[in-house]
Amino acid sequence: MNESIDFRKSDTPAVAAVSVWRAEGDRCILCPDELAVEEPLEIRLAFDRDGRRVRQGVSVTMRTPGHDRELAVGFLFTEGIIRAPEEVAGVEDWGPGNVVRVELRPGVDVNVDRLERHFYTTSSCGVCGKSSLEAIRVDSGVGPISGQPMVEAATIRVLSARLRASQGGFDRTGGLHASALFDASGRLIDLREDVGRHNALDKLIGAAFLAGKVPLHDAVVLVSGRTSFELVQKAAVAGIPVLAAVGAPSSLAVELAREVGMTLVGFVRDDRFNIYAGFERIAGLEAPA
């Protein structure tokens, strides 16, 4: 049997068309299939240091191609390297591909110590390569506003279905995570997909950042997988008050959510969910006496 699997051109850079051997009972047939594309993206930064212009590589992340500029600025923002859209002079694709350069305006102050860690981020790990535990925590700057907004429990229950109905890339490949931005009434505002959970959230936040909509003080964000410390941290930097997930949070994610005053919800299903932090923002529930 010919064991080679041929990759073919797809209609989007996020999806690879392939031929696969599919086992059905005791038969094996050659079928078309689609995979989520995973490729490296280098993020570069141009900024002023000691009176001269510096161009420096900041990160290499494994991501799904698409919305690369949003991913780059979202990463730089949630890592505390840039603070406001006004600091960014331009974002451009650089070189033959898989490189994005973010140009900062002259005079913008950059945390050089953070840059010199030269982050290496895989699609499954948002803090790999950081040189110390102190480097993991980023000053959120704004954070959520206490008690705002109020979200009905019935709204939380429908978010998962609305996310799933809008995951075009996942429908085709079964291999992409998603982060979705909702308002407090449950209306879907924006959605991004990526092979990496952290990248999907960075793309979502990056889009809001470039549009001048951060901090996202009235937003609800739902992520398709589990909730890690890094995702809570990124959400806190963007001022997101309610972070919900289809899966479970880690203990450190819960600890950080409580520390910054975020509502953290997990195991969101049609009829149930768990509240790990920020119970006071969820309306329509009876609290035990």
Of the candidates 28, 31, 125, 128, the residue annotated as catalytic is: 125
3-class SS of residue 55: strand
Are β-strands 220-223 and 188-194 bridged in parallel, bridged antiparallel, or unpaired?
unpaired
Q: Phi/psi at 43 (nearest 5 deg)?
A: -105, 120
28 a catalytic residue: no
Beta carbons of 209 and 219 less than 8 angstroms apart: no
CA distance 57 to 131: 17
Q: Phi/psi at 133 (nearest 5 deg)?
A: -65, -35
CA distance 260 to 232: 9
Closest Cα to residue 5, out of 16, 120, 23?
16
3-class SS of residue 31: strand
Tokens of 188: 């879907």
The single residue listed with the structure tokens 């299903």 is 269
* Catalytic residue list: 125
